[in-house]
Structure 1
Amino acid sequence: MELIKLKWKVFCAKNIYGAKNGDNDTELVMRYYKGRKTFNELNRCKFYQIEVNIVERKLPILNLLMNLKSLGEARVNESVLDVTSDFRRLQLSLVHEFSTTAGYVRDGTFLSNGEFIFSTRKSGRWESSNDKCFVYSSNWECTKEIESLSAPFGIFQKGNEVLIGCTGSKVIEVKSLCTYNKIKTIRVSRAIFGIAFLKSYFFEACDDRIVKVDLSGVKVRDVNTGTSVKHITATNDHIVFGNRKTNLVTCMDSMGRNIWSYSSVSLKSPCGIDKDADNNIYVAGKESDNVHVLSCHGELIRIFEDIPRPDFMKIDKGRKFCCVSSNRKYLRVFEFK
């Protein structure tokens, strides 16, 4: 409303000024009195004079840009990221299969040099030292046999060392990744099966408990788990293991506190356990003929079905291949597609 009155006031002023410059005296008088009447009415309104000053202010960086005389040469860096397909849609494509007659397969793992190593055990007394581990190249040719082991089971790589947990002799044999020659032997207090490493400590699966030991083999603590706990793995933050009798997969922290548990009617006798670079967890259902893939939070991602009696599914570092052991004898290599 105030804006409309202001426009009328301007109109009156222009009207009087136009009449002043005209040639008709009668028109001048009429415009003058009409304009003055309107002006007096508008003058009763309260108008305020507002002065607005607009100042241009430049940021310092703009001043620098405005003062540039020339630009240096531009250098372009290119990089390629490995974009993984939706994991739920990946399929397994068989690329190689073989079997072993040296004994039944117990556990295995991919190494950072691209090789795959697995442990075997012959029937007989655990105390004997006539069992072996076998090393296969990326072309799946046997390149090395590690002998004189007593019931080897869990295998774990730590830097340039390969650690083999031996159930019969209650030791961890430490081998060189380059030559597989023995570096040292770490003695432990109990028969050891699977082995994992987290936050500068070893975690040993010892059938009815998980034992936490330091790098010299001294026990720090143990956690009762119930019998039939032999396979174990470590994510970035936690320890994950399966119990073949209760069909339960459990995650705990380094202090032995439970974080989550997973069970399913379609998972029976959880056996080998592994994790990939994204901390997804692979649980082999020995008696359900499948492999359950879980997130690091214990949520089911997918199930690989129709895998006969899997002992384990081990994943390479790039999650391009996996090795599945079945019936403790047959090993099949699959490519993720």
Structure 2
Amino acid sequence: MTKNTESLNDKLQLVRFCITGLEKFKRLSDEEVVMEFRNCHQKLQHVKNSVIESVCMNMEALVCDELRTLKTVSKFAFLNLIEKVESSYKKVKFDLKKLELSHEVTVQDAGIRGMIFLSSESVLLASRTGPKRILVYSVKELKFEHEVQTGDFIPFDVRLIGKLLYVSSEFSDVIQVLRIDDNYSEVFSFSVGKQCFGMDVYDDHIYIACLSAIIKVDMKGNRIGEYPTSGDAKYVVVKKNGHIVYSSQSNNTVTAISVQGDEVWSYSSPNLKYPYGLEKDSSDNIYVTGAHSNDVHILSIDGNLLRRFINLTNPVLFRLNEEQNIVFVCCEGNNIKIFDVNS
């Protein structure tokens, strides 16, 4: 049926062509008709005298041996789904003039250098003096909840990725990884090869301050990169643009470097002495504790001083909880001051 229809269409096209040709000839004079006929005759003769040759093309595909081995591969990769939840809290513009001291608590023989918020209800402290342990307190009233003994491992800083708690120690080159939903049992550990101090997490990678370098590892402890520092870096934060910021006590500076390791900016001030703990907020402002200048310097994303929080005694740690609108400042390693942020 299809072939018959196509044949009929071809015939109709030929009839229309002939009708169009006849209509055209009606409008031509006798001389023009003769000339048109002669041209058509010459073209037809040219076609008849042309030699038409048939050409046969053979194509062959050669498969390399490496491609053949793929037939024996059962799996190319194992895919792991990592759930990453971004907080949707309202961004708060922190103004230290509006900070109000809520209360303070002294944790005896703690030597706190690391602190994270486990949730909106709990905060975790790393105690490096006295009994070596990790302490869990309530956020609002800072009441003791429970502790986890770490044995001979002296914790310095702590960071959380999902349910995995990464713990560093200044007296070891090893990072311990604990599971918080399994009674803080050790899952695994890995060696960095250098003393480990402060840490930060960005894009599911851990950045570890190791005095002469910042070392970047993945969640399993595999080394991704190493960034030399210009001083004894003990704390590090990573901004949204990937810039790495670290504090150096030996030269009283705070330095930002790019992902290539090039210096982006450096901050120093006569008012900043022994810069220690670092923190960042959702606007990528940097908070620097001046342990010997008894203050906190707030730097913009470009490393410019925005303001200072003064009249603190030997502050070593500064932590923000923007969801709860509170600030924790750890002074002298044992005294924790909690401030309310009035937005």
Q: TM-score, normalised by structure 2?
A: 0.67
Change in 2 beyond 3 A, CA 1:272/1:81 = closer
Question: Secondary structure of the equivalent of 1:231?
Answer: strand
Question: Secondary structure of the equivalent of 1:302?
Answer: strand
Kindly provide the CA deviation profile for residues 47-74 of structure 1, in whole angstroms up to 9, marking residues without a partner as x.
xxxxxxxxxxxxxxxxxxxxxxxxxxxx
Partner of 1:233: 237
CA RMSD of the aligned region, Å?
Answer: 2.4
Q: Report deviation, 1:290.
A: 0.6
Give the Cα separation in 2 of the matches to 1:336 and 1:113: 15
Q: Report deviation, 1:294.
A: 1.2
Q: Report deviation, 1:162.
A: 2.2
- Report the residue type matching 2:187 in the other structure: K
Give the Cα separation in 1 of the matches to 2:184 and 2:125: 16
Question: Secondary structure of the equivalent of 2:177?
Answer: strand
2:144 to 134, 142, 145: 142
Partner of 1:202: 206
Give the Cα separation in 1 of the matches to 2:105 and 2:324: 21
1:162 to 155, 161, 165: 165
Matches within 5 A, 1:243-282: 243-282=248-287
Q: Report deviation, 1:142.
A: 1.2
Q: Report deviation, 1:83.
A: 7.2
Give the Cα separation in 2 of the matches to 1:195 and 1:81: 24
Question: Secondary structure of the equivalent of 2:150?
Answer: strand
Kindly provide the CA deviation profile for residues 95-119 of structure 1, in whole angstroms up to 9, marking residues without a partner as x.
1211122332222122334321111
Give the Cα separation in 2 of the matches to 1:163 and 1:148: 13
Partner of 2:109: 102
Change in 2 beyond 3 A, CA 1:137/1:87 = closer
Partner of 2:66: none
Answer whether contact 1:119 1:154 (CA < 8 A) is retained: yes
Change in 2 beyond 3 A, CA 1:82/1:182 = same
Q: Report deviation, 1:226.
A: 4.1
Q: Does 1:327 align with 2:332?
A: yes
Alignment length, in residue pairs? 251
Matches within 5 A, 1:1-337: 82=90, 84=92, 87-88=94-95, 90-122=97-129, 131-138=132-139, 139-149=141-151, 150-188=153-191, 189-236=193-240, 237-318=242-323, 320-337=325-342
Change in 2 beyond 3 A, CA 1:83/1:109 = closer
Change in 2 beyond 3 A, CA 1:227/1:332 = same
Q: Report deviation, 1:168.
A: 3.0
- Report the residue type matching 2:340 in the other structure: E
Percent of matched pairs sharing the same residue = 27
Q: Report deviation, 1:178.
A: 3.8
Q: Report deviation, 1:177.
A: 3.9
Partner of 2:8: none
Kindly provide the CA deviation profile for residues 303-337 of structure 1, in whole angstroms up to 9, marking residues without a partner as x.
11111110111111326111111111211111112
Answer whether contact 1:277 1:318 (CA < 8 A) is retained: no
Give the Cα separation in 2 of the matches to 1:174 and 1:322: 27
Answer whether contact 2:275 2:289 (CA < 8 A) is retained: yes
Give the Cα separation in 1 of the matches to 2:327 and 2:251: 27
Answer whether contact 1:213 1:221 (CA < 8 A) is retained: yes
Q: Report deviation, 1:273.
A: 0.4
Give the Cα separation in 2 of the matches to 1:165 and 1:333: 25
- Report the residue type matching 1:248 in the other structure: T
Give the Cα separation in 1 of the matches to 2:171 and 2:96: 42
- Report the residue type matching 1:286 in the other structure: A
Change in 2 beyond 3 A, CA 1:246/1:179 = same
Change in 2 beyond 3 A, CA 1:183/1:277 = farther
Give the Cα separation in 2 of the matches to 1:273 and 1:307: 16
Question: Secondary structure of the equivalent of 1:153?
Answer: coil
Kindly provide the CA deviation profile for residues 157-214 of structure 1, in whole angstroms up to 9, marking residues without a partner as x.
2223222112334322223344552252231222211111234432111122211223
Give the Cα separation in 2 of the matches to 1:213 and 1:83: 29
- Report the residue type matching 2:144 in the other structure: C
> Which stretch of the first structure deviates more once superposed, 205-214 or 220-229?
220-229
Q: Report deviation, 1:89.
A: 6.1
- Report the residue type matching 1:309 in the other structure: N
Give the Cα separation in 1 of the matches to 2:177 and 2:331: 27
Q: TM-score, normalised by structure 1?
A: 0.68
Largest Rg, 1 or 2: 1
Give the Cα separation in 2 of the matches to 1:179 and 1:304: 39
Give the Cα separation in 2 of the matches to 1:246 and 1:164: 27
